[in-house]
């Protein structure tokens, strides 16, 4: 005779089934891998006297779209020898670029106290609500024109309205102290990738020091209003710091699939974190591949690309037969990110720009659409022997989504 299971036995089976289903649901799914097509665009050459550094491209869409690449006029022999800001424009989707032209409002200038101040580390990006290019960055400050003083750095920005030249260099006013009560010193937004909200507010990654005697940076996101002319601080979020080296700096932000993702440079490695609102972030994690090994990116920038429904990271790293390159800053890679695990999927890694005895760490992302982005990068030839004496160039590549068969 069959024995009927007791109610207690049935409850146990039911609980086991629930637990099993919960365990399956808790396992993060792997994102579908998105295949990218990488195509070179036209390049912009430096001169006998100057290199172009910190080159990044902004895009003004419309019936007559315009691409604007800004760049720092940089000396060939000394790091951070930054002078005026130049621009080159393209009207044919990056096939050709105009001769670089100095931006009169963004020149290095002499201050009354003997300092020379140069805008730099700029990132121009379209602000949709005001239909302007908003370039954010920092200042470089040179005592007697030669000795750099990082304690005088400021968050700088400039605006280009459609059909008009760039406006003057402006500065973002920040509170004197952070949430923890530390002073906000030498704040800047150099080389940071921002994210704009639907109401026009700007989520701007910045970094600052808390002690004038210790160059250790804390990074955060400043939410700012922007009316097409003036950037105004409203509040800032989580203050992210590590005590090691120069802390966390050159943060870059992107929005993807209902979350915000922040990547941060450190001297010895690179870190990543996630947020629901773009202000309040989880604990940081060191960047790794999905096999658990370290990504190997250190002491340089990483930036984001969102394309084809996927999240990608642009970076340089160790371990690519590139020990002869300063800080392993070439080649320039792109890899798809698992947004749940916050890891780069190793099988998706591609080379964006090949190594050619020049550093490629200071790149910029220009998002054209959901299926197209450009990566702009100025070569760094400083202290590299095989190409010493050559003119550097700005390299631009286009990435699109390969159609599925």
Summarize pLDDT for 213-260 with one digit per residue, the tens. 999 999 999 999 999 999 999 999 999 999 999 999 999 999 999 999
> How is residue 379 written in tokens?
């070569």
**pLDDT tens digit at each of 405 positions of the chain:** 444 444 444 444 343 333 344 444 455 578 999 999 999 999 999 999 999 999 999 999 999 999 999 999 999 888 899 999 999 999 999 999 999 999 999 999 999 999 999 999 999 999 999 999 999 999 999 999 999 999 999 999 999 999 999 999 999 999 999 999 999 999 999 999 999 999 999 999 999 999 999 999 999 999 999 999 999 999 999 999 999 999 999 999 999 999 999 999 999 999 999 999 999 999 999 999 999 999 999 999 999 999 999 999 999 999 999 999 999 999 999 999 999 999 999 999 999 999 999 999 999 999 999 999 999 999 999 766 788 889 999 999 999 998 876
**Looking at residue 150, what is its pLDDT?**
97
The verdict on domain 31-401 having CATH code 2.120.10.10 is yes
Cβ atoms of 237 and 280 within 8 Å: the answer is yes
Summarize pLDDT for 253-299 with one digit per residue, the tens. 999 999 999 999 999 999 999 999 999 999 999 999 999 999 999 99
Domain limits of the chain? 31-401
Summarize pLDDT for 162-195 with one digit per residue, the tens. 999 999 999 999 999 999 999 999 999 999 999 9
Closest among 156, 168, 99, 163 to 123, alpha carbons compared = 156
């Amino acid at each position: 005779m069959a024995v009927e299971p007791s109610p207690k036995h049935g409850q146990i089976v039911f609980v086991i089934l629930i637990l099993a289903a919960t365990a399956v649901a808790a396992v993060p799914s792997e994102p579908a891998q998105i295949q990218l097509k990488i195509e070179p665009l036209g390049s912009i050459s430096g001169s006998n006297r100057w290199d172009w550094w910190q080159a990044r491209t902004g895009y003004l869409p419309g019936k007559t779209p315009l691409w604007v690449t800004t760049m720092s006029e940089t000396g060939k022999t000394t790091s951070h020898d930054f002078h005026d800001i130049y621009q080159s424009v393209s009207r044919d989707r990056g096939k050709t670029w105009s001769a670089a032209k100095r931006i009169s409002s963004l020149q290095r200038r002499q201050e009354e106290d003997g300092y020379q101040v140069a805008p730099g580390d700029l990132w121009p990006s379209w602000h949709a609500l005001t239909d302007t290019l908003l370039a954010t960055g920092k200042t470089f400050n040179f005592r007697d024109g030669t000795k750099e003083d990082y304690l005088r750095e400021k968050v700088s920005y400039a605006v280009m309205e459609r059909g008009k030249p760039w406006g003057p260099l402006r500065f973002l006013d920040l509170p004197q102290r952070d949430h923890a009560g530390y002073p906000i010193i030498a704040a800047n937004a150099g080389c940071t990738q921002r994210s704009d909200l639907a109401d026009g507010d700007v989520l701007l990654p910045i970094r600052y020091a808390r002690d004038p005697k210790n160059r250790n940076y804390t990074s955060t996101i400043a939410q700012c209003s922007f009316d097409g002319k003036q950037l105004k601080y409203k509040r800032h979020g989580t203050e992210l710091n590590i005590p090691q080296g120069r802390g966390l700096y050159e943060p870059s932000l992107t929005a993807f699939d209902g979350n915000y993702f922040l990547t941060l440079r450190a001297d010895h490695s690179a870190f990543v974190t996630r947020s629901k609102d773009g202000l309040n972030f989880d604990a940081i994690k060191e960047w790794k591949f999905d096999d658990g090994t370290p990504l190997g990116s250190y002491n340089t920038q990483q930036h984001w690309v969102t394309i084809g429904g996927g999240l990608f990271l642009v970076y340089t790293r160790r371990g690519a037969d590139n020990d002869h390159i300063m800080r392993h800053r070439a080649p320039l890679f792109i890899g798809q990110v698992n947004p749940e695990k916050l890891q780069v999927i190793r099988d998706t890694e591609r080379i964006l720009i090949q190594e050619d005895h020049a550093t490629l760490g200071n790149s910029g992302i220009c998002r054209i659409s959901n299926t197209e982005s450009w990566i702009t990068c100025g070569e760094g030839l400083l202290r590299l022997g095989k190409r010493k004496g050559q003119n550097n160039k700005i390299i631009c590549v286009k990435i699109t989504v390969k159609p599925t068969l």
